[in-house]
Amino acid sequence: MLNFSFHNPTKIHFGEDQISMVGDEIPSDANVLVVYGGGSIKRNGVYDQVVAALTDHTWFEFSGIEPNPRYETLMKAQELIKQHNIDYLLAVGGGSVVDGAKFIAAAALYEGDDAWNILAKQEPVEKALPIGAVLTLPATGSESNGNSVVTREGNKLPFSSPLVCPQFAVLDPKVTLSLSDRQISNGVVDAFVHVMEQYLTYSVNAKVQDRFAEGLLQTLIEEGPKALKAETKEDLSIRANIMWSATMALNGLIGAGVPQDWSTHMIGHELTGSFNIDHARTLSIVLPAVMKVKREDKRDKLIQYADRVWGITEGSDEQKIAKAIALTEDFFKNMGVPTRLSDVNLNQQHIPDLIEKLEQHGMVALGEHSDIDLNVSKKILETAC
Ligand code: NZQ
Ligand code: ZN
C-alpha cells in the first residue's frame, strides 16, 4: 500500500426527511445563498423542504446553474454575494450545482486578476466560502469531495481544493425518485467508473481498498438496473444503496494509498466540452477502450476484477479478461448508455480535434504510469469508434 493521509471533513446526514437538518448545520447568523439548477427542486418538493429548514436564517437564492456548469453563469452569483454579504453557500441539486457552488465559493474570495485562473492555470485556492449541500442526484461524489469541474467556451476543466469540500451534506434517497431514467443511468455509471479509475491500475496489495471497491462495483451492478425497472423503481432501499455507493465511490476512501488512473474522465471531459455529451455517457464510451488498450499494464487487476466482481473463474487469463470487458460493456448497455463513439454519431474524423484539445489542456501524460500520451489517447479513441 502507498503512504497516505486521509481526511474527509463532510458530515453526512443520510436518510428520509433529513433535509430538516440543514437549519442546524448552518450558523444561525450566516447570510446564506441557496444555489440551485434549472428548477427540478421546485417540482419535487426539495425547495420547499429547504425553505422550511431555513425559516430562522437570512437567505437569498441564485438559480440557473446548468448541467456542466458554465463559468459565465457562476460568475453572475458574485454580484449577489457582494450585495448581501453572503458568507455561506447551500448547494441544492446534482453534481453540477455542487461543483458550481464550489467555484462560486472560491471565486468569491479570490484576490487575483481573473478567477478563471483557478481552472486554467490551476492557481491554488487560498480561501473559499463554506459550503453545505443537499444532494438530489447520486453520481459524482461532489457532495463530499473537494473537486469541481467548470466549462468555459468548450473547455471543461477541473480544479480541486480541500477548502471547497462541503462541510455537511444531506443525502435523502427519496428525493432521487423524481430523476429521469437517463439521470439514474448516468449516476450509476459515473459512480461505477469512479470506482474503476481508483481500482483498475496495478496491485499495491491494498486489500481493504480493493475489497471496498469491489463491493461498491457489485452493489452498483446489482442495484443499478433495479432502479430502472418499473416493478422496483420506487424502492427506496435500492435508491439508498445507489446513493451511498456513489458518495463512497469518490470521497477519498477507496482512493487512499492506491495508484489511480483518471484517463477515462480526462478524455471524457473533451467529449463533453466539444460535443455536449452527458458526463457519464462519455465515460461508458471511453472506459471499455481504456481497458482494451491498457490490457497488458492492467492485466493482474483485470483478472482480479473478472474473478471477484463478475465471478469469472473458468478459462485462460486472456479469456477471463475478454469476458470481464464484455460484461462491463453489457452492464453499460443494460443501463441504457452508449459504449461506442458511433452510438453518439461520432467517428474517426472527430478524433484529431479531440487530441488537440487534450494537448491544449495539458492532458498529455495520463494514467497510473503517466504513459497515456496523445498517441495512446488517439488509440483509445480509435478503439472506442
Ligand atoms: O438543473 P435541475 O433542474 O436541478 O435538473 C438537473 C439536471 O438537469 C436534474 N436533476 C438533478 N436532481 C434531480 C433532477 N431532476 C429530477 N429530480 C432530481 N432529484 O438532472 C440533470 C443533471 O444534473 P447534473 O447535476 O448535471 O448531474 P450530475 O450529478 O451527473 O453532475 C454532472 C457534473 O458533475 C461533474 C461532471 O463533469 C458534470 O459537470 N463531475 C463532478 C465530479 C466531482 N465534483 O467530484 C466528479 C465527476 O466525475 C464529474 O466530473
Ligand atoms: Zn465522473
pLDDT digits (tens, 9 = 90+) for 198-231: 999 999 999 999 999 999 999 999 999 999 999 9
Q: Would you say residue 18 has pLDDT above 90?
A: yes
For residue 1, being part of any structural domain is answered with no
Q: Kindly state whether residues 91 and 226 are assigned to the same domain.
A: no
Q: What is the CATH number of the domain that holds 239?
A: 1.20.1090.10
> Where is the domain boundary, 155, 174, 193?
174
pLDDT tens digits along 52-62: 999 999 999 99
Residue 195 C-alpha to ligand 2 middle, in angstroms?
A: 10
Q: Output the domain CATH number for residue 143.
A: 3.40.50.1970
Task: Indicate whether 96 and 170 sit together in one domain.
Answer: yes
Q: Give the distance (Å) from ligand 1 centre to CA of residue 97.
A: 7
Per-residue pLDDT at 331 exceeds 90: yes
pTM recorded for the entire structure: 0.97
Ligand 1 pocket check: which of 61, 140, 174, 179 to mutate, most ligand atoms within 8 Å of Cβ? 140
Domain presence at residue 2: no
How far, in Å, from the CA of 149 to the mean position of ligand 1? Answer: 11
Nearest-angstrom CA–CA distance, 30 and 58: 7
Confidence (pLDDT) at 154: 85
What is the domain range of residue 89?
A: 11-174
Domain final position from 143, 174, 205:
174
Q: Is residue 6 part of a domain?
A: no
Do 184 and 168 share a structural domain? no
Q: Are residues 158 and 203 in the same domain?
A: no
Q: Does any domain span residue 136?
A: yes
The Cβ of residue 329 has, within 10 Å, a number of other Cβ atoms equal to 16
**Would 210 be classed as within a structural domain?**
yes
Last-in-domain residue among 174, 202, 226: 174
If one counts the domains in the chain, the total is: 2
Residue 238 covered by a domain: yes
Same domain, residue pair 106 and 245: no
With a Cβ cut-off of 6 Å, ligand 1 is lined by 37-41, 44, 67-68, 93-97, 99, 136-137, 139-142, 145, 147-149, 175-176, 178-179, 183, 186-187, 190, 250, 265, 279
